Structure formats: C-alpha cells, structure tokens
Chains A and B, each alone.
Chain A
Amino acid sequence: MSPLRRFLRTPEAVTGAMLLAALIAMALSASLLFPGDPQAIAGPALLPPFQDWSLPLGTDRLGRDVLAELFHGARTSLAVGLAAAAAALVVGAVVGTLAGFAGGLVDEVLMRITDAFQTVPSFLLALAFVSVVGPSLGVVVIAIALGTWTGPARVARAEVLSIRERDYVAGARVIGMHPLAIAFREVLPNALPPVLAMSSVIVAAAILTEAALSFLGLGDPNRVTWGGMIAEGRAVLRTAPFLSIVPGIALVLTVLGVYLAGEGIVETTAVRRGLS
C-alpha cells in the first residue's frame, strides 16, 4: 500500500489535511475574495456576525470586515509559521550534523551555544529580539526561529552520532570522500527523518508564538494577524466577544490541523520504514 493511501486511511490525518487545505485556500484566496485593504473601514462599528450578509462575521471596533481580516490573517500565520519552522529546521539540522560528525572541540562549542539558547525561554528570547530590532515580518520569523532551532539540533546530533559509526560512513572515508561531503551527502539525509518528524510541532508552536507576539503588539503593524485581532477584541470582550472568539477558533483549528497532518505523515512514513 502506498504511503498516500495509508495516509488517506487515517482519519486524524485526513482531518488535519482538510483543515490545512482550508487554511491554505483562505490564505491564497484572500486577495481575490477581499481585494481591498482588509484594514479599511467597511461598515458600521461592532456589527455582530450573521446580521449583514455582505459582512457575514460582522465588524470590529473600527468597522473593519472581520471575515476579510480573518482571510488575510491566515496568510500571516501560515507565512510566519512555515518560514520560522523551516529556518529552525535548517539551522538545527546543519548545526546538529556538524557537531555530531566533527565531534571534539567543534561539538563542544556548538553544543554549549545550543545550551545557551535553550536556557533562555524561547518566547522571552523572541520578545526581546523583536523589541530591540523592531517589529516586521522578517524579524518575527527570525525571532521565533532563534528559540526553536535547538530542538532539531539536538535530535540531529543524536542521530548523526549513531549514523557516523555505520559501515557506509567508514566506506565513504575509505573511498576518500571529503569529511564535509560525507557529513552532508551521506550522513545528513539519513539523519533527517526524526528531525522532520518534529516539524509539525515546530510549525504549530511558531504559529502560536507569532499570535502571542502580535497579541502583545509586537507583530508587523502593516499586516493583519490573528493575534492582533484577539488583542483588538479584548477591549470589548464583554460587549462583542465574537471579535476575540472568531480568530481564536481559527488559531485553534490551524494548530490542530498542522499537528494532525504532521503526525499523519510521520505515522504513515514510519510504517513504511518499519516494513523495509
């Protein structure tokens, strides 16, 4: 049975994939369905949902279209989540591979740096970084990656430590291959699966961190973000709770979708590896 078919037979995986697909569809169609500036005023302020069908989810305190904000916010969440996770995985895998393969002093130095990053709570690190450098999309991505690359680095190093003792690494040395070529051609690709297995958790955490930063007003001010929307709604939480609840639900479903789909992929590929 192909991994795809096995994936499609796992209900959690399918649920996750559908949620993710909906999120991606929202992000891609945002400028088609809501071509204007989502932060422009679209109607009366604090219009509750399901009252006016041109503004199905109502409006916020300034009269902005909540549905349009939700669609455009999906873009930010997805972009930041994926970019931060990708950066964390790449940096982590490279650092872990170098540390594990080189051993000795290189390993010591790289792992002490990793320790240093790990001892600082990652959210605090992101917060400090953004408040020093200033909020923009790129900075937020770097800030989140700064706190999350250490996990993949440790997993990659542990995997590399076991792989470098294998016969095929000895074989590559006997052939006369350069140590860096061995590390990145022979060792890293085989150390990746457990590192990639962490990606769903990292993407989900990155999306949440981005929301938290935006909630605290440290998101990119020129972009609509779900965290920012929740923060906006906080002021009128008693009178218009939907302003916080709607983006909150979107956030929960997104994180759930990423997590379930990621687990589904890990599970189905793990089964395949177990068989062979």
Chain B
Amino acid sequence: MTTLASIRDLTVTYRRDSNEVAALRSVSLDIANGERLAIIGESGSGKSTLALAIAGLLPGSSRIGGRIDWFLPSSPPSGAKAPPSVLPDISPSRGEIGSSPAGPLSASLAMGESGDKGVISPLEGEMSGRTEGGLVRREVRKSSLKQSYIPRLGRDIGFVFQDPSASLDPVMTIGKQIAEVARTHLGLTWSQSYARAKSLIERVRLPDPDSALRAFPHQLSGGQKQRVAIAAAIAAGPKLLIADEATSALDTIVQAEIVALIRRLVTEDGMTLLFISHDIALAAELAERIAVFRHGQLVELGMTAQIVGAPAQHYTRALLDAHIGLDTRPLLDRAGLHA
C-alpha cells in the first residue's frame, strides 16, 4: 500500500491571551492511499486540530511545527481542464490515480515557526461557503526538495464540517455551491459544472435532484444539508476526504445513513478517508484503522480489530469500557425502584 501523506513531528500550539496551549505534540502518522482511517479522542485530544492542520485551515494565531510530506499525483495547473482520470464518475480507472503512469509526485511541505517568508497558502479556490478558516495565512518555509506542494482544499482535499448549516452559504442555491467547486478546480464552464452538480446530487441521493439544484440550504433537513456538504466536498474529485465529526449533530438514523453514504462514495471514488469522531463504536464500523488521541498525543494506532478487540493501551481500554452500547450491562439496579 502506498502512502498518501506522511506526517512527522507535527506540533501545533494556539496562543490564547499570553499563554500558549499545545493542541498537538509531536504527532507522527502515515495516511495510506485509499484507506479509511479514523481519528478518535475526547474533547481536547487534538483530533480536530489534526484535521485542520492537514487541510491547512488552522487559524493564523496558531504555530505549526514539523512536516507533512504529500505523495499526490501531479496536479494540473490551476484553471486548466482536469484530465478525465480525476473526474471520478467518468473515469473507469478511478482509484488508481496514485499509480498512474506519470508516477506519484513526491511533494513536501515543511512548516516551521522560524519561517522568514510569509506565504499565503493557495486557498482562494476553496469550495464555497466555508465559514471556518477563510483565507489562512501560514508561515511556510520552502523545503529543500525539488517539488514543494501545498495541497489545495477542495481540489486535493475535501472537508466536511460538523455543522452543515454553518458551512453552506445560506443565500446561494445548492446547485451553485456545488457547481462552484467544480468550476473553480476543474476549469469547467458553468453549464458543465451544473451538470456535474446534478450528477453529484444524484450520487449523494438527495430526493428530486432537479429541484434540489435550485433549493436553498434552509429548505433542507440537517441530514440533507450534510449530503450537500459532502457533494460539494467531493465535487472536484479530491484524493483525501476529511470528515470532522460530520455526523455528530445528526440523529442516530440519519447518522447511519450519512456514514453509509461516506463509505460508498469513498469506495467508489477510491478516496482516502480521514474520519474524525468522538464515538469509538461508530468509528469502528467505518474505519479500517483507528488512531486514538489524547491530550494532543497519539496514544495508539492500529487495525480496527486490534484496537477494539485487543487494545494495547490502558486509555484505549478505558474508552471502550466507557462505551454504552445496546448490549452493555445496565447501570440501573432495577430492584431499587420499589424498595
């Protein structure tokens, strides 16, 4: 299995008033091409910071150290028409983009706080309606490698946030929000983009695709909005899909539907999935590998069967024990009621 991204000694600190809070401490992790990797942890574990750091969405006040090496297929110049192989629902050979004849291009990005040149990361082409992040200024020190590459959000990475109402533009139609991503990143015309938006709406199984194209976010339910957010995230055929607590605000039934949708889309398009969640049971159902985070550090990383069945770390064991499932012995002592 090839590696998509190699994270080494990633450290992120946030400045709050005059104190520095470490959100991630020297995290090293490889993301394999085409895998479904879950990042789980409780609040303050740094799991969302990791997702934002990978996507280049960290706020300007944060300090980032370490390096992320990307092994992405060569990216077309901005604005150029994409080769058919990256249009997931056209190409029969999708899923093998990483091993295309041109060979994966080793790209590296080293981030250091000593960076002398302020470079604005190329996020201007990001998909519409992103309320978190916006234009993020990162201090980037050019690496000594020949090819330096910062993955582009929307084009290389699709990001699905927890709250679809906050990540969708309330005054733009669903169709335009999805089409805009395709247009920006794939260099399509508006009519091509709308056609693509329609096929994406069909793929995420929104009822009545034609009227959904013209609908506004407030006309949809929470689960439908999250489907739209997913369609927009994958509109430009990204290699990596990051879902940051994407199902946490939804009820159980809708959550199961969205998880099934993500699983299907990831498999069909050969995408790599980074699934950020606080719910170990949910993560286990979806992911092939699980990384457990606590206090900004990677506690344990392993195959799902090993993490769930034979955890090596005490903390992982504690998380599993704290899970209250449908077959857990009840806490309630029923004899106590009428005593």
Contacts and interface: CB of A to CB of B under 8 A. Distances in A.
**Do A and B have CB atoms closer than 8 angstroms in the complex?**
yes
A53 B94 CA distance: 90
Q: Is the interface of B mostly helix, strand, loop or mixed?
A: loop
B17 interface: yes
Contacts of A132: none
Contacts of A1: 17-18
Interface string A240-276: 0000000000000000000000000000000000010
Contacts of A2: 17
B18 A275 contact: no
B338 interface: no
Contacts of B16: 275
Contacts of A275: 16-17
A3 to B, nearest CB: 10
Interface in B4-40: 16-18
Interface string B40-81: 000000000000000000000000000000000000000000
B311 to A, nearest CB: 36
A33 to B, nearest CB: 42
Contacts of B18: 1
Nearest to A2: B17
A1 to B, nearest CB: 6
Of the four ranges (under 10, 10 to 19, 20 to 34, 35 or more), the interface on chain B belongs to: under 10
A275 B21 CA distance: 13
Interface in A1-44: 1-2
A1 B18 CA distance: 5
A2 B19 CA distance: 12
Nearest to A276: B16
B17 to A, nearest CB: 6
Nearest to B61: A275
B334 to A, nearest CB: 29
Q: Is the interface of A mostly helix, strand, loop or mixed?
A: loop
A1 B20 CA distance: 12
B295 to A, nearest CB: 22
Interface residues of A, number: 3
A1 B19 CA distance: 9
A275 B61 CA distance: 11
A2 B18 CA distance: 9
B133 to A, nearest CB: 16
Contacts of B17: 1-2, 275
A1 B17 CA distance: 5
Interface in A200-224: none
B61 to A, nearest CB: 9
A2 B17 CA distance: 7
A136 B338 CA distance: 77
A91 B202 CA distance: 57
A20 to B, nearest CB: 27
A255 B146 CA distance: 59
Interface string A57-77: 000000000000000000000
B62 to A, nearest CB: 13
A260 to B, nearest CB: 25
A32 B17 CA distance: 43
A28 to B, nearest CB: 35
Nearest to A272: B17
Interface string A141-182: 000000000000000000000000000000000000000000
Nearest to A6: B17
B282 to A, nearest CB: 27
A119 B17 CA distance: 45
A57 to B, nearest CB: 47
A270 to B, nearest CB: 15
B196 to A, nearest CB: 38
A100 to B, nearest CB: 24
A124 B17 CA distance: 48
A274 to B, nearest CB: 11
B22 to A, nearest CB: 17
A275 B16 CA distance: 7
Nearest to B18: A1
B101 to A, nearest CB: 50
A175 B16 CA distance: 35
5 contacts: A1-B17, A1-B18, A2-B17, A275-B16, A275-B17
Interface of B: 16-18
Q: Which 5 A-B pairs have the closest CB atoms?
A: A1-B18, A1-B17, A275-B16, A275-B17, A2-B17
